[in-house]
Copies of this chain bind each other. A is one copy, B any other.
Amino acid sequence: MEELKNIKVALLGSGTVGTGVYKLIERQREELPHKVGAGLTVSKVLVRDKNKKREGIDPSVLTDQWEDIITDDEIQIVVEVMGGIEPARTYITEALQAGKNVVTANKDLMAVHGGELLDIASHNGCDLLFEASVAGGIPIIRPLKQCLAGNYISEAMGIVNGTTNFILTKMTHEGMEFDEALALATELGYAEADPTADIEGYDAGRKMAIMASIAFNSRVTFDDVYTEGITNITAKDIKYAEAMGCTIKLLGVAKNTESGIEVRVHPMLIPSDHPLATVNDSFNAVFVHGDAVDDAMFYGRGAGEFPTASAVMGDIIDVARNIQFYCTGRIHCTCYKDLPIKKITEIESKYFMRLLVDDKPGVLARIADTLGKNEVSIAQVIQKNKVNDMAELVVITDLVLEQNFADALVEIKGMEHTREISTVIRVY
């Protein structure tokens, strides 16, 4: 039997995900030759401080010099798990230009510079795979690019941020307020020290940009995504939603319509019997609609050391198989269309609005009149509790143009008898 080939891998970064990948390669040592036809060895790990001890990682592979990796001709796969735009963008570019294949988990980078990097990969006949950049361990990019490649995908919708889903689950099941649930998420390690990217919807927005690009075969970048976070959601909103048979989730919504692509992330009321309504805690799920497959859903862990490493590892194994068959670059960028992207103001939504007004005759009529003038038609108005001299109103609209609703909102805010617009949430 001929000697088993050994494919050398470099890891850029040894944080949570990097360590997970390192451990998985060790754990799969006996299996890999059978799966890939070659062994895999991590021969270098790029770190900031190579003298710092890293549990489970052989210290002799650590380096703090990118030069050590980029000039090492034996390294065929570079795994970027450092995150952020720079120096990741430069390293990936240089690696691809040097003919090395790249696997990355970096959504910040792929959501902004994905197109450019995939072009460089194509020109150099290399793989650039990024399954872990969307919804962590859940297989979603490969299913879209391969399994569902015979479909026109018209919609991809999902819960793609575990931190906010954990917070909303705690608010829903345990009646916590946002701050309390966020504090718990931080304590349990589900939220980072600076949770902005999660709670403002930026993280979900990046994932939706990448997913929409693949689903619709047309490049969508993070700038194209409208994002709105969950910081204004209250336990009261959730109770009201429940009374209407709904659950509040932070949803990423991407649609391929005749007039262009819509991509947005915002809280949404969805019916409690919708499959996404029962996706709880830090779990993620992505719902896809295709003309052939109809509805399909993918569910699993969207973050964490091993779930994310699982996705990275799937990519590494795929690259290794391509290396064995001399077919790296086999699936290149699939954005071959150039579809227009709609502004949020051009999109139609249904709204749930909760507001406090003076409890006086004629106030409701004036609000209804203002909505009507702006072509916002009302599906339902519910008069809730009266507090002192104020009345709480809940208004549900029909499907209306976002711009029209925004205009109406400005007018209502400015009215003499409006005390407070408590919440505005879109409805599925």
Contact = CB atoms under 8 A, between A and B. Distances in A.
A53 interface: no
A353 to B, nearest CB: 30
A301 B148 CA distance: 13
A244 B292 CA distance: 38
B310 A300 contact: no
Given A142-B143, A275-B278, A137 B317 contact: no
Interface string A135-161: 001110011001111111000000000
Interface stretch (A65-73, A254-262, A324-332): A324-332
8 contacts: A20-B292, A31-B217, A150-B313, A150-B317, A278-B278, A293-B307, A294-B304, A298-B299
A158 B31 CA distance: 26
A321 interface: yes
Given A34-B217, A142-B143, A150-B313, A297 B299 contact: yes
B143 A139 contact: yes
A139 B297 CA distance: 10
A312 to B, nearest CB: 8
B299 A293 contact: no
Interface in A72-101: none
Contact of A301 (B273, B278, B295): B295
Interface residues of A, number: 57
Which 10 pairs across A and B sit closest by C-beta, in order of nearness?
A150-B313, A139-B147, A296-B300, A292-B310, A327-B327, A325-B327, A34-B336, A297-B299, A293-B310, A139-B143
Contacts of A291: 27, 306
A321 B331 contact: yes
Contact of A149 (B27, B317, B336): B317
Nearest to A131: B147
A318 interface: yes
Nearest to A290: B310
A283 to B, nearest CB: 8
Contacts of A299: 275, 295-299
B310 A148 contact: yes
A316 B292 CA distance: 15
A208 interface: no
Interface of A: 20, 24, 27-28, 31, 34-35, 131, 137-139, 142-143, 146-152, 217, 273, 275, 278, 290-301, 304, 306-307, 309-314, 316-318, 321-322, 325-327, 330-331, 334, 336
A76 to B, nearest CB: 16
A179 B137 CA distance: 42
Nearest to A320: B149
A331 B318 CA distance: 9
| Contact residues of A: prevailing secondary structure | mixed
Contacts of A300: 293-297
Contact of A294 (B31, B34, B307, B330): B307
A146 B318 contact: yes
A34 B151 CA distance: 14
B143 A316 contact: no
B327 A150 contact: no
Contacts of A290: 310
Contact of A35 (B139, B275, B293, B334): B334
A149 B33 CA distance: 12
B147 A314 contact: yes
B301 A150 contact: no
Contacts of A313: 149-151, 292
Contacts of A147: 131, 139, 142-143, 310-311, 314
A152 B273 CA distance: 33
Contact of A296 (B31, B138, B321, B334): B138
A92 to B, nearest CB: 21
A293 B137 contact: yes
Contact of A293 (B275, B301, B317, B331): B301
